[in-house]
Amino acid sequence: MPDPRLSPRERLVLTAIIELYIATGEPVASQGVARHFAHKEGLSSATLRNVMASLGEAGLLEQPHTSAGRVPTAAAFRYYVSQITGSLVTGMQPSDAMPQSASPLSEVRRGQIENSFSGVSSTNEYLERTSHVLALISSGLGVALASNTTGQVLEHIHFSRLSTGRVLAVLVTQAGAVQDRVLSLDQELTHTELETAARYLNENFRGWLVERIRAEIARRMEVEREAYRQMLTSVEELCRKGALAGGEAGPALFVDGMANLIAGELDRERLRQMLLALEAKQRLVELLTAYVDGRQQGVRVVVGLDDASPAMQDLVLIGAPAWVGGTSLGTVAVIAPTRIQYQEMIQAVRYIARLSERILEVPAD
């Protein structure tokens, strides 16, 4: 983080440079900053050059080339984000030294988001649509990670045979979440066996915590092996292969907008490394799990993902958990270059995360 002893003038100039860089994508020269402050007294080009030099010494600005203007560093963007999130949390009006766009998401943008989620009725649809919408409005990578089933309560499960050795499992929780996954089985199960397995689970385990069901199935296998051997073997096989979203089967991940990052990056080798880091599903899951706490309520902003990979040092992650009826659905996030419209994207991620409660709300009994 920047030195908290920055003067009001330094904070004012730094914020202006960051916002000019976000708007243009070009290094910011002192003349450009002077034009920005043409209406303010006491900020001549000479004064601005001295302030910019001081900000450079503080590690907040860097100069790509000798004759070029200045570019904000990751530390500068972190400062900028702290100003935005501080004003959002406290409800303060932005001062001259704070980002000028600290305002709620516009009605137009809210309407676009609402329309984009029209017709969504399940968790997977919500998460998939979220990744697409966030990619569109951020010009970055939209990511949505489904929660695992910890703490979720079974309402209903259904199995459909797709082809030899492949079965579709659709799990509905009492919070209204709908999760589906394709299972690859070691042994072939008939349509009748699948119906029998689903009926057994629904009749015996409705209202149970999902993570407890698999352990109970294993226990009953031992106790009732002879009486229910064939039926329980089918159920055990389906559960072992992930019908109840066990720990070994990774959570569903939805990603959209990879081309946005390709269009915005000039260094080809660095781009290749960045995409290699992002394309691995496990890496994205690790990123979201490490940086966004599913128990939190607010938006998390992480500028510079070089802890995850050196190739990702110029990326920012903006993420938040989504909930329905007190149950975690997962995480929604944007991964984009640091030159992003922070205020709007923080508000958009927050809005979409909260939209899950309304779209997927559980009907009252």
- CATH label of the domain that carries residue 71: 1.10.10.10
What is the percent of the chain with per-residue pLDDT over 70, rounded to a whole number? 72
Enclosing domain of residue 47:
8-90
> What is the rounded CA–CA span in Å between residue 287 and residue 271?
18
User: Phi first, then psi: what are they for 161, rounded to 5°?
Assistant: -80, 125
- Residue 98 within any structural domain of the chain: no
Residues 260 and 354 in one domain: yes
- What is the per-residue pLDDT across 77-107, written as a single tens digit (0 to 9) for each? 999 998 887 654 433 344 444 454 455 788 8
Amino acid at 161: R
Instruction: Report, as an integer, the average pLDDT of 2-25.
Output: 84
Arithmetic mean of pLDDT, 119-131: 85
Give the pLDDT confidence of 252-301 residue by residue, as tens digits. Answer: 777 777 767 766 555 556 566 666 666 656 667 777 777 777 666 678 89
Helices then strands, each counted (H, E), the chain: 13, 10
Report the predicted TM-score, pTM, of the whole model to 2 decimal places.
Answer: 0.67
- 264 with 351, same domain? yes
Within 10 Å of residue 318's Cβ, how many Cβ atoms?
A: 28
The verdict on 182 and 295 lying in the same domain is: no
Nearest to 350 by CA among 319, 327, 326, 325: 319
pLDDT in tens, 24-34: 888 998 888 88
Rounded to whole angstroms, the Cα distance separating 139 from 216 reads: 47
Statement to judge: residues 81 and 216 lie in one domain: no
Which residue bears the tokens 């409800």? 91
